Structure formats: structure tokens, C-alpha cells
Amino acid sequence: MPLPLLALAISAFAIGTTEFVIMGLLPNVAHDLAVSIPSAGLLVTGYALGVAVGAPLLAVLTARLPRKLALQLLMLVFIVGNVLCAVAPSYGLLMIARVVTSFAHGSFFGIGAVVAASLVPAEKRASAIALMFTGLTLANVLGVPFGTFIGQELGWRATFWIVAGLGVLSALGVTALVPNRHDVAPSNLGREVRVLRDPQVWLALTMTVLGFGGVFIVFTYIAPILEQVGGFSPRAVTLVLVLFGVGLTIGNTIGGRLADRALMRSLMGILFALAVVMAIFAKTSHSQIGAIVTIFVWGIAAFATVPPLQTRVVEKAKDAPNLASTLNIGAFNVGNAGGAWLGGAVLTHGHGLDALPWAAAVVALAALAVTWFAARLDTPRAPAKIKADVKAADAC
């Protein structure tokens, strides 16, 4: 793989760390800023909504810029946002700083995926996108635990200073390693917007919302599931989540390779496997050994969906990929927020925590149905069938 992908992966690691590390620092933030834990939890929601709203906004604003310059400016926004998080004197200003940081998230992954795909031959595009997203998965395995430890030992502000430093390193990497591609012209805004007329683009975005939304039905409540249903201690939950992160990293690589071979068939197989694993977890969540094994496999299946889902959007919007690719990152976050809301609705209506995997399985099957329908639209009708239809129409 080309060396520029390393710079993109480092940037993805920094972005993934700042997105998820706040979950481990919520008690510290809440105590320091004198707010409740639920109020501190809104920093997670605010970030996700910032990605969903800011991604298309910045995609439009950077549409006429060369992609390398756009990536550099987005990393500058990321650095400024994390510095503001580190110095924020109040909860309100911290929320604003988180939203500013989130604006860089969606656009960077969207444009970065297009750049990654342009660096390799067509048959390796999904693997290239997967390699960039490896930085995001490693953020869950390494960045979040380390950032949480630093925040607990030195204060939560120290974590954001370190992440800002990672942003500087990422910006230098993009500047030094990502080439100025003269064969890839800056995007045309009108052409980018017109791509949204294609139903296949909207189907791809729907596949992303459903495919990853099911994951967050369970992931949002994974700690109480493990503690209250599986009987794990809080410290053991942390170790299980690290194992889940390892599964994400493996699944990301597998998903990229499978998508390079047969994108839609692989995606349908992965979504089916995801539904099956969730159904199994509804039972194994009551057993510690069973839960550990199932969560590891679930991590593999969950992130194996990411490279094919992102590749699908780039493929269907190949004439104007920037906005569509960035919208797909927003779609992941809409799925995250929607999955968390649906999981909460299941619990609010009186169902137990062990019912959440069943809900996730149903959503994964819905994603599979949409994917199957989109694949059917891809299949050209046979000439004989078309001729028969014409004769039948003439007969009428």
C-alpha cells in the first residue's frame, strides 16, 4: 500500500480517539464542570450530531479546493477544536468545542476515503479505504484506553492536549506524504449536488444507517449488559471492550479484502452474519465465556461492514464522490444516534437488556433487505427478458 495511506491512518487514529475517549472521561468532566453524568453524556450526542450536520456543510465549502489542501484545513479545524476542548472553562464552551472538532470528522473521512481509493488500482480500493479506517479501529484498542488513563491520572484536559498534538503530527504527515494529484481535479459543487439525484446513492446511505445502527443498539448499552446480564465487574468490562476493539480491527481488514473481491455479495454475507451473531448474543450474554467469544466475533462482523459500505458510495458517486462519501460518514453517525435511541426505546417499553441483541438482529436484517434490493437494481436485465417484455407490451 502507498505510504500516503499511513498519514491518513494516523489522522483517523487521532479523530477516532477524540470521538470515543470522552466516554471514559465523563465522570471526570462532570465533576470538574459541576454537571450531571447525563448532561456530560450529551457531549457524545453533540459530537455525533455535529458530524452529521457538519460533514455535508464542510464538504460543500471545500468542494472547489484540491483534496490535499482540504485535508490540511480539516486537520487544522481538528487541532483548534481539541485545543478549545482542553482550555474550555465551562460546560457550554466545551460542548461548542466538541461540535467544532466534530465538523472535521465527517469531511476528513469522506474526502480521505476518496483520496485513499485514488492511490491504488480499482481492484484494491476497498482495501485502501479499510487501511485508512484501521486508524479508527486502533483508536478503540489503543487510543481510548491510553487517553482515559492519562485523563484519570493528569486530568481530562491533558488528554485533549495530547490529541491536539496527534492532530499536529497528522497534519504534518498529510503535508509530507499525500501527493498533489494532478489527475484528480477539484470537485465541482453543482456536480457534487446532482449526484444526490441517483436513487442508488440514497440506497447506499440507507444501507449505512441501518447496517451500523443495529450495532449501536447494543454497543450503547454494552456496559450494563455485561455487568447486569453477564455478571462482569467494571474492570472486566474494560478488558472485554479492548477485545471488542481487536475484533473491529480484524473485521475492518477482512471487510476490505472481501469487498475487493465481490462487494455486494460480501456485504450481504456480512450483514447476515451480523444478524446471526446478535441473535446468538441474546443467549450468550448470560454466560461470561459465551459473551466474551460472541463479542469478539461481533466486533469482527460489525466493522467488516465499514469498507464495503464506504466503497459502495464512492462507486455509485464516482463522478462526484466528495459530498456522497462525506454524507456516508454522516450516515454512520445517524445510525449511531438512531441505534442508541432505538435501544433506549426498547428498554423504556419494559423489555430487558437481553432483548437489545434481538432488536439489533432485526435492524441488520433490514439492512440486508435494502442491500439485496440495491444489488438487484445493479443487475442488467437479460436481452431475452427485455425482448419478451417489449412483445408483451405490444400485445397489450
Structural domain that includes position 252:
187-384
Task: Decide if 94 contacts 85 (C-beta within 8 A).
Answer: yes
Q: Are residues 204 and 282 in the same domain?
A: yes
Residue 274's pLDDT is 94
Q: Which of 54-63, 240-249, 369-378 has the highest average model confidence (pLDDT)?
A: 369-378
Give the end of a domain, one of 171, 186, 201: 186
Report the pLDDT averaged over residues 199-220: 86
| Higher pLDDT among residues 49 and 82, named by residue | 82
Q: Are residues 145 and 27 in the same domain?
A: yes
Q: Are residues 287 and 373 in the same domain?
A: yes
State how far the Cα of 78 lies from the Cα of 9, in Å rounded to an integer. Answer: 15
pLDDT higher than threshold 90 for residue 269: yes
State how far the Cα of 38 lies from the Cα of 23, in Å rounded to an integer. Answer: 11
Q: Are residues 81 and 139 in the same domain?
A: yes
State how far the Cα of 187 lies from the Cα of 181, in Å rounded to an integer. Answer: 13
Residue 80: band (very low, low, confident or very high) from pLDDT cuts 50, 70, 90:
very high
State how far the Cα of 180 lies from the Cα of 68, in Å rounded to an integer. Answer: 6
Of the chain, the percentage scoring pLDDT greater than 70 comes to 89
- CB hemisphere CA count around 111 (13 angstroms): 33
| Higher pLDDT among residues 254 and 388, named by residue | 254
Within a domain: 128: yes
| Higher pLDDT among residues 84 and 21, named by residue | 84
- Supply the mean pLDDT for the chain: 82
Give the end of a domain, one of 161, 186, 211: 186
Q: Which of 14-28, 155-169, 251-265, 342-356 has the highest average model confidence (pLDDT)?
A: 155-169
pLDDT higher than threshold 70 for residue 142: yes
Contacts of 215 (CB under 8 A, 6+ apart): 274, 302, 335, 339, 360
Q: Per mean pLDDT, which range of 179-183, 248-252, 333-337 is the poorest? A: 179-183
Residue 84's pLDDT is 95
Q: Are residues 202 and 136 in the same domain?
A: no
pLDDT higher than threshold 60 for residue 396: no
Q: Are residues 126 and 233 in the same domain?
A: no
State how far the Cα of 263 lies from the Cα of 86, in Å rounded to an integer. Answer: 42
Residue 42's pLDDT is 75
If one counts the domains in the chain, the total is: 2
State how far the Cα of 234 lies from the Cα of 221, in Å rounded to an integer. Answer: 13
Task: Decide if 15 contacts 109 (C-beta within 8 A).
Answer: yes
Within a domain: 393: no
**Burial zone of 34 (CB within 10 Å; 0-12 exposed, 13-18 middle, 19+ buried):** exposed
State how far the Cα of 104 lies from the Cα of 99, in Å rounded to an integer. Answer: 9
Q: Are residues 288 and 337 in the same domain?
A: yes
Within a domain: 390: no
* Residue in the structure block whose three cell numbers are 478488558: 239
Report the pLDDT averaged over residues 162-171: 94
Give the end of a domain, one of 120, 151, 186: 186
Residue 38's pLDDT is 64
Task: Decide if 148 contacts 140 (C-beta within 8 A).
Answer: no
Residue 278's pLDDT is 94
Within a domain: 217: yes
Nearest to 240 by CA among 280, 297, 283: 297
Q: Are residues 23 and 158 in the same domain?
A: yes
Q: b vs e for 38-69, b when ≥16 Cβ sit within 10 Å of the residue's Cβ?
A: eebbebbebbbbbbbbbbbebbbebbebbbbe
State how far the Cα of 217 lies from the Cα of 309, in Å rounded to an integer. Answer: 19
Within a domain: 396: no
Residue 382: band (very low, low, confident or very high) from pLDDT cuts 50, 70, 90:
very low
pLDDT higher than threshold 90 for residue 207: yes
Q: Per mean pLDDT, which range of 141-145, 190-194, 333-337 is the poorest? A: 190-194
- 3-state SS string over the chain? CCCHHHHHHHHHHHHHHHHHHHHHHHHHHHHHHCCCHHHHHHHHHHHHHHHHHHHHHHHHHCCCCCHHHHHHHHHHHHHHHHHHHHHCCCHHHHHHHHHHHHHHHHHHHHHHHHHHHHCCCHHHHHHHHHHHHHHHHHHHHHHHHHHHHHHHHHCHHHHHHHHHHHHHHHHHHHHHHCCCCCCCCCCCHHHHHHHHHCHHHHHHHHHHHHHHHHHHHHHCCHHHHHHHHCCCCHHHHHHHHHHHHHHHHHHHHHHHHHHHHCHHHHHHHHHHHHHHHHHHHHHHCCCHHHHHHHHHHHHHHHHHCHHHHHHHHHHHCCCCHHHHHHHHHHHHHHHHHHHHHHHHHHHHCCCCHHHHHHHHHHHHHHHHHHHHHHHHHHCCCCHHHHHHHHHHHHHC
Q: Are residues 166 and 140 in the same domain?
A: yes
Angstrom distances, CA of residue 239 to CA of 145, 215, 247, 252: 10, 19, 13, 20
Q: Are residues 256 and 341 in the same domain?
A: yes
pLDDT higher than threshold 60 for residue 186: no
- Tens digits of residue pLDDT in 215-232: 888 887 777 788 888 888
Report the pLDDT averaged over residues 113-128: 79
Q: What are phi and psi of 381, to 5 degrees?
A: -75, 140
Residue 192: band (very low, low, confident or very high) from pLDDT cuts 50, 70, 90:
low
Q: Are residues 179 and 216 in the same domain?
A: no
| Higher pLDDT among residues 386 and 281, named by residue | 281
| Angle (CA) 7 12 18, round 5° | 130
Residue 384's pLDDT is 47
pLDDT higher than threshold 90 for residue 121: no
Residue 22: band (very low, low, confident or very high) from pLDDT cuts 50, 70, 90:
confident
Within a domain: 327: yes
| Higher pLDDT among residues 272 and 2, named by residue | 272
Within a domain: 14: yes
State how far the Cα of 320 lies from the Cα of 28, in Å rounded to an integer. Answer: 44
pLDDT higher than threshold 50 for residue 386: no
pLDDT higher than threshold 90 for residue 276: yes
Residue 178's pLDDT is 84
Q: Are residues 222 and 143 in the same domain?
A: no
pLDDT higher than threshold 70 for residue 187: no
Residue 218's pLDDT is 85
pLDDT higher than threshold 70 for residue 380: no
Within a domain: 249: yes
Residue 369's pLDDT is 95
* Residue in the structure block whose three cell numbers are 460533514: 55
Task: Decide if 363 contacts 278 (C-beta within 8 A).
Answer: no
CATH number for 115: 1.20.1250.20
Residue 1's pLDDT is 61
Nearest to 252 by CA among 369, 108, 135: 135
pLDDT higher than threshold 90 for residue 370: yes
